[in-house]
Amino acid sequence: MSGILEGKRVLITGVLTESSIAFHTAKLAQEQGAEIILTAFPRPTLTERIAKKLPKPTKVIELDVTNDEHLGRLADVVGEELGGLDGVVHSIGFAPQDALGGNFLNTPFESVATAMHVSAFSLKSLTMACLPLMQNGGSVVGLTFDAQYAWPQYDWMGPAKAALEATSRYMARDLGKQNVRCNLISAGPLGSMAAKSIPGFSELASVWDHRAPLEWDLKDPEPAGRGVVALLSDWFPKTTGEIVHVDGGLHAIGA
């Protein structure tokens, strides 16, 4: 029986550790029949080591999504490797330390601008860099952390994720004519490298212990990875501009 991504070619960003959603997305994508290529920054060698733990070998290319030169050559590099693309996974987020951990009112604009550029604007710039390879349409899937609420310690990453969510909707509007879908997975907290960079992360994560209807496991990124793979597949052919919650149902519970 063939997998739901059989014959698909997918670019995946953000594979840093085995505990990341991006790694589990890559693993599941390969198991479901996709050819993949990974991007990494600032340490491609780290991603190359992690990539050896995937079911099949895959190429890793350096990509700084804030670097126009990197973005400008991306289509050529990926095209040589895969010939084209059917899917793109945006698993990129960053905020300087002074934009996190309860410093919201004192964060300088320069740090806010960095968070917005890397975490939100990059969804548009990455997609546009890949668009020439998506001649037959395709699926763009990003990762968010529910921006409807103000979370403890999350500070300017909250507005950055809100901008990411709005960006995804506008991209869905403008890319639909090219049969390119753009959706997001809103995952619950996970003990990834990104989480460890948030001061007081345990305070944020503890909300799930009390409010999530389904038991949430901080050590299990696979449910979120499955959500990404499902949106990459042809099983959601007319879904775009959507945010699918993979958070144990917490988003539906008021208190």
- Annotated binding residues for NAD(+), written as ranges, equal 14, 20-21, 64-65, 92, 161
**Catalytic pick among 8, 27, 124, 154:** 154
Annotated binding site: 14, 20-21, 64-65, 92, 95, 161
Q: How many CB atoms lie within 10 A of CB 158?
A: 21
Is residue 161 among the annotated active site residues? yes
Residue numbers belonging to the annotated binding site for substrate: 95
Contacts of 49 (CB under 8 A, 6+ apart): none
Q: Is the dihedral of CA 80, 82, 86, 91 positive or negative?
A: negative
Closest CA to 228 of 238, 209, 242: 242
Please name the residues in contact with 244: beta carbons below 8 A apart, sequence gap of 6 or more: 183, 184, 185, 186, 227, 231
- With tokens 């890319």, the residue in question is 175
Residue 102 backbone phi and psi in degrees, to 5: 95, 10
For residue 237, give the amino acid letter.
P
Catalytic one of 56, 161, 170, 238: 161
What ranges make up the beta strands (E) of 120-179? 138-144
Q: Which residues are catalytic?
A: 154, 161
